[in-house]
Amino acid sequence: MNITDKEKARVIRKTNKKISRHIANHPSRGWLAKIETLDQLKWWVLHGKQQELLSLAWKIEYLDLDDQLEDQVESGQITKHQMDRTFLMLDCYSALWKLIKRSFKTIKKELARNSIDLPFTSPSALFCCLCTELSEFTFLHCFEPYLELGGKRLEDWILLGIRERGGEILEESDSKKLKKLPHAPFLTKKRFEWVNIVLSICENKANSQNITIKKAWDAYNVSLDSLIEESVKPLHEIRSTTIWRNGKSI
């Protein structure tokens, strides 16, 4: 049965509404039952506000909503840095969404080849799962017994990592520094399940010269690097370190 352009547009709009709602609803309220300190609650609220901004940006991009983020900057509700970072997050999530749409059938086939069933019936369902893992990842830092975030060492690790991922051959001194520095929590594989599986398959296919996936993979990595570089700016300016210890931010 042929689908008309109008019906396609309706389905696309419905999908984008679903994605925007999903983004706004994380970190989920289910985590509130596990929160034991005021600092953890503040961290949950902070991450929730960032997700609301991202959801708003998604609506601006895909649902023709007026640019309310500019209005929030002008009224002092958010800073320009927050707005810039939100739009870079939008670029990154959009690139990931395009990657999922182009690689969904390939992902399903690769998993089936390894006797693994993909528990998602559509690209949007898989993408929403990845959104959940990405959005809750940094929030879950507050449940660590001990964790340091930020500071000059983390900034160095991130920027050196970007250069290495971009194919640059680092000088021996920088290469040694990269190996010595602690892994940036939000760039490690810990806590990611489907994100790791999906990106691993996409990377392998991109490296095997699957042109369709390679273009989407390269675009995703460019947007990711831009987001990381923007996120590093406050580390460079403030040089501060946040420490989580038993539910309290020090």
CB burial of 80-91 (b: ≥16 within 10 Å; e: otherwise) equals: eebbebbbbbbb
**β-strand partners of 242:** 149
Higher pLDDT, 68 or 237: 68
| pLDDT at 171 > cutoff 70 | no
Q: Tell me the CA distances in angstroms from 236 to 115, 139, 151, one per residue in order.
A: 46, 22, 8
pLDDT digits (tens, 9 = 90+) for 37-93: 999 999 999 999 999 999 999 999 999 988 899 999 999 999 998 999 899 999 999
Distance CA(239)–CA(249), nearest Å, equals: 16
Q: Tell me the CA distances in angstroms from 94 to 126, 162, 182, 206, one per residue in order.
A: 14, 20, 29, 18
The percent of residues above 90 in pLDDT, for the chain, comes to 51
Mean pLDDT for 147-156 is: 61
Please tell me the total count of domains within the chain.
Answer: 1
Question: What is the overall mean pLDDT for the chain?
Answer: 82
Mean pLDDT for 211-226 is: 91
**What's residue 228's pLDDT?**
77
- Which DSSP helix (H) or strand (E) runs through 172? helix 172-180
Strands, E assignment, 162-236: none
Helix (H, G, I), strand (E, B) or coil at 136: helix
Query: What are the tokens at 125?
Result: 């369902």
Distance CA(117)–CA(62), nearest Å, equals: 31
Mean pLDDT for 97-123 is: 94
Distance CA(227)–CA(92), nearest Å, equals: 7
Q: Is 62 left (phi over 0), alpha (psi -120 to 50) or beta?
A: alpha
Range of the domain at 105: 5-249
**Encoded amino acid at 203, one letter:** E
**What's residue 182's pLDDT?**
45
Mean pLDDT for 11-35 is: 94
**What's residue 154's pLDDT?**
55
Distance CA(223)–CA(206), nearest Å, equals: 16
pTM: 0.83
Measuring CA to CA, which residue among 133, 162, 131, 154 is closest to residue 242? 154
| pLDDT at 200 > cutoff 70 | yes
Distance CA(69)–CA(60), nearest Å, equals: 9
**What's residue 189's pLDDT?**
41
